[in-house]
Amino acid sequence: MAEIYAFLAKGGWLMIPILACSIIGLAFFLERMWSLQRAKILPAKFIRLVTKLLEERRYEEAEALCSQNRSPIAAILGSGIRYAGGDRALVKEAMEETGRREMHYLERFTNALGAIATVAPLLGLLGTVTGMIRVFQRVVNQAAAAGGTDPGALANGIWEALITTSAGLTVAIPVYLGYRYILTRVDRFGVELEDTSLQALDYLVPPDQSYKGREARLEAMAAAAERKERGPAAVDKGVDKGVDKGVDKAGSPKALGEAKKEAS
């Protein structure tokens, strides 16, 4: 333990923030691994129960079940169930808005991991630069005092200066790998959340209330209104036309002649 402390002490005060980066990065990675478990994001049992309730149109029970579950998929489905049976665009928008909030929660601390992976080697490089400055300053002082330089002292100073670079890279590499792994895991869960939500959307909005169904209903309503407006006028027009035609036919000279002929 004493040897490790002595080794780290040679790196200078910049070893402290580098070690802090390693501890914080490890804590963030473990927290994300704990939070990004499938059972906490997409619990299979919960999804089966909600799907069954939605198939049976038992929306109140499904909403109550969602409110009792703390998973992201429960929050997304719950926001859509509140508008079940309404306009498809409204239901989808509500679910998408909740999905964006849940994705923000899933991505928590990932930017911090990326920042640590970037800053740690820079801190190591800064420690090396400041260490090299001290080394060359020491060499100049020795040369001015003794008229020469000690190659061994120069090499020892450079070795000590490179400790911080090594420490920074040692911290940055695993943190960056963990950062990329967390991002991949978040993206995969995001795709699965979207797929599950779209499947539930078909249960929340009946087929006749989809975009095509709504357009068909609107066209049918417009056609019915047009027939209703044109119907009485067309009937009256047809009756008037028939009456006029009968009067003309009965009152014509030819018709009167035929009537007299039949009477004689």
Looking at the fold, whether 188 and 245 belong to one and the same domain comes out as no
Mind listing the pLDDT tens digit for each residue in 148-196?
666 666 676 777 778 889 999 999 999 999 999 999 999 999 999 999 9
Looking at the fold, whether 89 and 135 belong to one and the same domain comes out as yes
Domain count of the chain?
Answer: 2
For the residues 42-50, what does the mean pLDDT come to? Answer: 94
Mind listing the pLDDT tens digit for each residue in 104-127?
999 999 999 999 999 999 999 998
Contact 205, 85 (CB under 8 A): yes
Measured in degrees and rounded to the nearest 5, phi and psi for residue 130 equal -65, -35
Both tokens of residue 24?
Answer: 């914080």
Predicted confidence band at 27 (pLDDT cuts at 50, 70, 90)? very high
Looking at the fold, whether 72 and 153 belong to one and the same domain comes out as yes
Q: What are the b/e assignments for 63-102, b being 16+ CB within 10 Å?
A: bebbeebebbbbbbbbbbbebbeeebeebbebbeebbeeb
Range with lowest mean pLDDT among 29-33, 45-49, 80-84: 80-84
Taking CA atoms, 85 is separated from 55, 88, 161, 206, in Å, by 13, 8, 69, 7
CA separation for the pair 54, 204 (Å, rounded) = 7
CA separation for the pair 253, 264 (Å, rounded) = 17
Looking at the fold, whether 23 and 75 belong to one and the same domain comes out as yes
Both tokens of residue 120?
Answer: 């740690």
Residue 231: give the domain boundaries: 211-263
- pLDDT in the model for residue 264: 44
Looking at the fold, whether 47 and 144 belong to one and the same domain comes out as yes
Looking at the fold, whether 68 and 166 belong to one and the same domain comes out as yes
Considering 208, 224, 254, which residue would you say is the last residue of a domain? 208
In 3-state terms, the chain is what percent helix, strand and coil (to 5)? 85, 0, 15
CA separation for the pair 179, 107 (Å, rounded) = 11
Looking at the fold, whether 182 and 256 belong to one and the same domain comes out as no
- pLDDT in the model for residue 150: 64
Is pLDDT of 235 > 60?
no
Looking at the fold, whether 177 and 104 belong to one and the same domain comes out as yes
Considering 208, 229, 253, which residue would you say is the last residue of a domain? 208
Looking at the fold, whether 160 and 189 belong to one and the same domain comes out as yes
Is pLDDT of 44 > 80?
yes
- pLDDT in the model for residue 159: 76
Looking at the fold, whether 101 and 218 belong to one and the same domain comes out as no
Looking at the fold, whether 204 and 221 belong to one and the same domain comes out as no
Q: What is the mean pLDDT of the chain?
A: 80
Q: What is the number of helices (H) and of strands (E) in the chain? A: 11, 0
Looking at the fold, whether 179 and 69 belong to one and the same domain comes out as yes
Is pLDDT of 248 > 70?
no
For the residues 132-147, what does the mean pLDDT come to? Answer: 73
